[in-house]
Structure 1
Amino acid sequence: MRVAALPFPAAVALLSRYGLQLHRIDDGAAIPGSFWGEPEAGVIAHNVYVRGDTPVHSMLHEACHLIVLPPERRAQVHTDATDSVIEEDATCCLQIILADELPGVGRMQLMADMDAWGYTYRLGSTRAWFEQDAGDARDFLKERGLPHT
């Protein structure tokens, strides 16, 4: 699923609840702060950059990287948010949870898209990891007052 399929104001509202600004870049333009390159989302401080062809899972993933960081670290992010395993796991968990808040997306669609993109987990699928092996990620989110179920 691509950002163009979203009601963009809903995505803006979701990210703004966490102090983030979502910016839609013109189709074909370079995406600032994109770690994987276009069409993947980019991050710089509290800003998330997407185009219409950006995958929704990428938008949520990069946004969740910023959400799980303390404010002082968030302000320093440019392109690469973390090298911490637990922060990466918490990011993946939170992006699945927040997908339920985007009309027409939901966690099942997002997990299927994550698998299709190439996320890999030792249990074989995003869903298996999320349902059976994400306890440490949920604990991390809960300790920080973030959604964890």
Structure 2
Amino acid sequence: MHAASAIAPHDGTEDVLVLADVGFAPARALLARHALELVEVAAGAPIPGSYWGEREAGVIAHAVFARADTPVHSLLHEACHLIVAPAERRAAIHTDASDSQAEEDAACYLQIVLADALAGVGRARLMADMDAWGYSFRLGSAQAWFERDADDARAWLEQRGLLPRED
């Protein structure tokens, strides 16, 4: 069993940060640092490239699609799937970005790290939101996994030079 073995269905009532809480501009700037584009989707419109549907972020090539009601953890998770994907595969990604369990774990780890770059989010809040949304970790919580069981994900990211220097 690995980091995120499954993400449970949700009913939309969880109290998690959404993109409207942090703003499109800071999220857009963060994604741009990783050569990604954040595409704003109109309220109520379907989100292109969304694997989970509803208000979940979507991915197509180098673009991440989101609405104001898209959870921040979803935006970061899908963006991180694109960041960890090799450049030659990124252009072909549409909706389902996961290539392996190692990449899934790396995306989970990196989304937690990148949460620190968004004012009002940070690691602790993002991990709480991941738990509230239904991410499933073998140690029972995102924080327990991140602090005690994510060495393989961290090593995977380090080998590819994908962790920010300060981490």
Q: TM-score range by the shorter chain?
A: over 0.9
Q: Which residue of 2 aligns with 1:95?
A: 111
Structure 1 residue 82 displacement after superposition: 1.6
Name the counterpart of 1:135. 151
Number of aligned residues = 149
Q: Give the match for residue 87 of structure 2.
A: 71
Structure 1 residue aligned with 2:138, among 122, 134, 139?
122
Q: Cα offset for 1:7?
A: 2.8
Provide the rounded CA distance (Å) in 1 between the counterparts of 2:119 and 2:89.
30
Aligned mate of 2:55, from 39, 49, 57: 39
5+ residue gaps in structure 1? none
Report the more deviating stretch, 2-11 or 46-55: 2-11
Distance, in Å, in 2 between the alignment partners of 1:22 and 1:83 is 22
Give the letter for the 1:32 counterpart: P
Gaps of 5+ in 2: 1-16
Q: Counterpart in 1 of 2:129?
A: 113
Q: Is the counterpart of residue 61 in structure 1 residue 83 in structure 2?
A: no
Aligned 8 A contact 1:7 1:103 in 2 = no
Indicate the RMSD between aligned Cα atoms, in angstroms: 0.9
- Structure 2: which amino acid aligns with 1:87? E
Aligned residue identity for 2:127: M
Distance in structure 1 (CA, Å) of the matches to 2:25 and 2:32: 10
Contact 1:141 1:147 (C-alpha < 8 Å) held by counterparts: yes
Shift of 1:146: 1.2
Cα deviation digits, residues 95-127 of structure 1 (max 9, x gap): 000000001100000000000000011111000
Partner Cα distance (1:111, 1:39) in 2: 19
Q: Deviations over 1:46-103 (max 9, x none)?
A: 0000001100000000000000011111001000002400000000000000000001
Percent of pairs identical after alignment? 64
**Correspondence 1:24 to 2:43:** no
Q: Which secondary structure does the structure 2 equivalent of 1:100 belong to?
A: helix
**Deviating 4+ runs (over 6 angstroms):** none
Q: Which residue of 1 aligns with 2:28?
A: 12
Tell me which amino acid in the other structure corresponds to 1:138. Answer: R
Shift of 1:37: 0.3
